[in-house]
Amino acid sequence: MQKSKKNTFILSYMDYLVHHEFGLNLKTLKFKKNFSTKYKNTNINFWLAYWVYVYENVLKNYKPSKNIQFLAYEKFNTKLTLILKKFNLNFSFSEKNIFQNKNNLDNLKNLKFDNKLKIKANQIYRELKKL
């Protein structure tokens, strides 16, 4: 966000790309009920609350659909490789997990997550993984 404040091109460019997921011109997804949280978007709990908001609504509104396939990130490479093989396309993915890096794990441990949000996010995540 600091870079966008100093360099107006960044904000203009992101607006031009309709890239509003973060930054000064953040626009959250809207379901029947608007997203709200007590946390500022510079706090990790804002993003955790937003994740809960989005995926809680995804489960509620889209889980019953037969036209949507949910795919866990952890399984993405395996599933995509199988799909590509069906079309005789050989492509190898290298799987890199950010949680395997000790520095990333240490950084996550230092974050102060809202415990209720963390529990809710884990419940939703377990439900998503079943799909």
Question: What is the pLDDT at residue 106?
Answer: 66
Q: Are residues 45 and 102 in the same domain?
A: yes
Q: Say how many CA atoms lie within 13 Å of 79 toward its Cβ.
A: 8
pLDDT confidence of residue 104: 60
pLDDT of res. 28: 82
Let me know whether 23 and 71 are in one domain: no
The Cα 110–Cα 33 span in angstroms is 32
What is the structure's pLDDT at 1? 54
- Residue with token string 């908001």: 53
Shared-domain flag, residues 46 and 90: yes
Instruction: Provide the pLDDT for residue 110.
Output: 79
pLDDT at 2: 55
Global pTM reads 0.68
Q: 13 and 64 share a domain?
A: no
Are both 21 and 79 inside the same structural domain?
no
Which domain does 16 fall in, by range?
1-30
Q: What domain count does the chain have?
A: 2
Do residues 25 and 50 both lie within one domain? no
Nearest-5° Cα angle at 29, 28 to 34? 85
Helices (H), the chain: 2-6, 8-16, 44-62, 73-86, 102-110, 115-130
For each successive 10 residues of the chain (131 residues), what is the average pLDDT?
A: 63 68 75 93 91 93 80 73 80 55 66 93 90 78
